[in-house]
Amino acid sequence: MSDGGDIRAPLAVDPGKGDGFGCHAGASEMEAAARKAGNSELLDGFRKDYPLGPHDKPQSMCPAFGSLRVGLRMRRVATVLSGSACCVYGLTFVSHFYGARRSVGYVPFNSESLVTGKLFEDIREAVYKIADPERYDAVVVTNLCVPTASGVPLRLLPKEIDGVRIIGIDVPGFGVPTHAEAKDVLAGAMLAYARAEAEAGPVARPSGGRDTRPTVALIGEMFPADPMVIGRMLEPMGLAAGPVVPCREWRELYAALDCGVAAAIHPFYSATMREFEAAGRSLVGSAPVGHDGTADWLANIGAAYGVSSEKIAAAQNAFLPAIRGALQGSRVKGTITLSGYEGSELLVARLLIESGAEVPYVGTACHRTEMSAADRDWLEARGVKVKYRASLEDDLAAMEAIRPDLAIGTTPVVQKGKAMGIPSLYFTNLISARPLMGPAGAGSLQEVVNAAIGNKARMDGMKAFFEGVGEGDSAGVWEGSPNLQPQYRALRQKKLEKAARAADHAGKNGN
Ligand code: SF4
């Protein structure tokens, strides 16, 4: 068990500086502070795992929500946050909104405890108090932006207390670009821990017993029925579906590592994939989605396991006719733009195209990896513009230029789409919450998509009814006609332009 050593974190940021150190601004200052505080290696690791560009700061929710949710979904795992109160308030609010039904621990700090290193001592004390082996297998402690920028050294926490594993992670908004990728930060940290345990000696069996068949671990959160569908598709090859990573309990991590092949259903899990590779497992990209996707995926999994071509063909023949039938069952007619931050956007686009839709644009907030290469190639061969690390501006520009029959996207995209009278569906709640894999997935999207496209007349009616209400300067509740003062805006604009010209001039003269 390690003790603290010199745990004083130099105060590299001023936590009282307010908005300048939030996720809305100052990311570069936070990053510089974190580097000064000794976190360069951590940040370089994030750059490698989650390459940036074109956007490099959260455009949706706080990234730490991803790792928080992964921890909260695991049985016998306690979660502790260390960060600014406003961040923790927002994160706990959202986690309970999504039905966490679990307490989130919080170690508060102030300028003094941050400056003196007392915050680390407080975290350490909290971890000792909470690490009860009767209740927990693991405690996850997460540094949010300010403690990461200040270099609060979670690596110096004990690795275990009375058999309870202690996992310390940094998930700053200025290092981890999306909440999807933050899920990988925790999943990867847990796999690394479990791998070290498995290498050191015998570990616990899965609670449901160990499958005697070779397994395929599934990387990425998916609809609960999807792993079962995948399992059935693997059966003719003598294989079984392994656990889904992120896992739901600690011992599943060992079972996941026990696979021969890991399927990167969600392709952005860089740290998780690194752990599987370090354990000597092969990785297979894409997913059994739609006809072509399922045919290729089964062939690739079979090849990775050295399964005979007869068995691969048996698996394909058992499921492809049903998938073909489901895809023909109810066709989608219309043009769809698609964007999201779940990491499954390319897979959904494939399914929509095989269902008959035109999909000219797919944007994903996640980064590009080799694991999505097959999906990217398939889509690009059909004229789709695939945009990795798509910003909100990219998604909106695509929607405005294409004017689709349906926009599938994040909340602000849907909001803008509806304001334009374009039927719109929220990706996370309405698309991610459906089966995608195999025969079950093939028929699942058409109904919701066709119903939404069929709503065009209603959208037009609503747009006409609300035309001009609550837009621009007239937003809000007015008792009389809005008293617009466009001259003030023009005046301010002139002043801003003048200041910019003066700054430009001063810069050129070297002042
Ligand atoms: S922890 Fe999250 S909410 Fe808080 S400043 Fe960082 S990115 Fe923003």
Answer yes or no: is pLDDT of 4 > 60: no
Answer yes or no: is pLDDT of 90 > 80: yes
Residues with beta carbon inside 6 Å of ligand 1?
22-23, 58, 62, 64, 83-84, 87, 90, 144-145, 173
C-alpha of residue 414 to centroid of ligand 1, in Å: 24
Answer yes or no: is pLDDT of 373 > 80: yes
**In this structure, are 351 and 375 located in the same domain?**
yes
Name the residue of 17, 87, 91, 171 whose CB sits within 8 Å of the most ligand 1 atoms, as the mutation to test its pocket.
87
Q: What is the number of domains present in the chain?
A: 3
470: in domain: no
Pick the atom of ligand 1 nearest to 144's CA.
1
Calculate the CA 397 to chain-centre distance. 22
C-alpha of residue 185 to centroid of ligand 1, in Å: 16
Q: Which residue has tokens 């050295």?
A: 306
C-alpha of residue 188 to centroid of ligand 1, in Å: 21
Distance between CA atoms of residues 503 and 307, nearest Å: 67
Beta pairing, strands 160-161 & 164-170: antiparallel
270: in domain: yes
Answer yes or no: is pLDDT of 184 > 80: yes
CATH number at 347 reads 3.40.50.1980
Q: Between 61 and 359, where is the model more confident? A: 359
**In this structure, are 169 and 234 located in the same domain?**
no
C-alpha of residue 23 to centroid of ligand 1, in Å: 5
**In this structure, are 149 and 40 located in the same domain?**
yes
**In this structure, are 267 and 339 located in the same domain?**
no
Of the CA atoms within 13 Å of residue 117, those in its CB half-sphere come to: 11
Answer yes or no: is pLDDT of 209 > 80: no
**pLDDT in the model for residue 162:** 96
C-alpha of residue 158 to centroid of ligand 1, in Å: 26
Query: How far is it between the farthest Cα atoms of the chain?
Result: 77
Distance between CA atoms of residues 210 and 31, nearest Å: 44
**pLDDT in the model for residue 20:** 43
Poorest-confidence range of 52-66, 166-180, 376-390, 464-478?
52-66
**In this structure, are 337 and 317 located in the same domain?**
no
Answer yes or no: is pLDDT of 336 > 50: yes
**In this structure, are 256 and 110 located in the same domain?**
no
C-alpha of residue 41 to centroid of ligand 1, in Å: 20
* Of the residues 293, 324, 355, the one at which a domain ends: 324
- The protein residue whose alpha carbon is closest to atom 4 in ligand 1 is 87
**In this structure, are 250 and 131 located in the same domain?**
no
* Of the residues 324, 347, 379, the one at which a domain ends: 324
Answer yes or no: is pLDDT of 510 > 70: no
205: in domain: no
**In this structure, are 19 and 157 located in the same domain?**
yes
Pick the atom of ligand 1 nearest to 24's CA.
8
**pLDDT in the model for residue 59:** 67
**pLDDT in the model for residue 293:** 97
Calculate the CA 309 to chain-centre distance. 36
209: in domain: no
The DSSP line for 441-500 is HHTHHHHHHHHHHTTHHHHHHHHHHHTTTT-GGG-S--SSS----HHHHHHHHHHHHHHH
**In this structure, are 228 and 124 located in the same domain?**
no
Answer yes or no: is pLDDT of 1 > 70: no
**pLDDT in the model for residue 193:** 97
193: in domain: no
Do residues 219 and 269 lie in contact, with contact meaning Cβ atoms separated by under 8 Å? yes
C-alpha of residue 324 to centroid of ligand 1, in Å: 45
Name the residue of 84, 88, 150, 185 whose CB sits within 8 Å of the most ligand 1 atoms, as the mutation to test its pocket.
84
120: in domain: yes
**In this structure, are 298 and 248 located in the same domain?**
yes
How do residues 432-476 score in pLDDT, each as one tens digit?
Answer: 888 999 998 988 889 899 999 998 899 889 888 888 777 777 777
Average pLDDT on 144-152 reads 93
Domain that holds residue 228: 215-324
508: in domain: no
- The protein residue whose alpha carbon is closest to atom 2 in ligand 1 is 62
pLDDT more than 90, % of the chain:
67
**Tokens coding 219:** 């990387």
pLDDT-derived band at 47 (thresholds 50, 70, 90) equals confident
* Of the residues 324, 340, 361, the one at which a domain ends: 324
Distance between CA atoms of residues 155 and 170, nearest Å: 10
C-alpha of residue 403 to centroid of ligand 1, in Å: 34
Do residues 243 and 255 lie in contact, with contact meaning Cβ atoms separated by under 8 Å? yes
500: in domain: no
Beta pairing, strands 385-387 & 358-364: parallel
**In this structure, are 310 and 335 located in the same domain?**
no
What value does the mean pLDDT of the chain take? 89
Average pLDDT on 486-509 reads 85
Residue 317 CB neighbour total at 10 angstroms: 10
Do residues 61 and 27 lie in contact, with contact meaning Cβ atoms separated by under 8 Å? no
How do residues 95-143 score in pLDDT, each as one tens digit?
Answer: 998 888 889 999 999 989 988 999 999 999 999 999 999 999 999 999 9
**3-state percent helix, strand, coil for the chain, nearest multiple of 5:** 50, 15, 35
Poorest-confidence range of 2-16, 99-113, 187-201?
2-16
pLDDT-derived band at 24 (thresholds 50, 70, 90) equals low
Answer yes or no: is pLDDT of 287 > 50: yes
- The protein residue whose alpha carbon is closest to atom 7 in ligand 1 is 173
Beta pairing, strands 138-143 & 385-387: unpaired
**In this structure, are 392 and 437 located in the same domain?**
yes
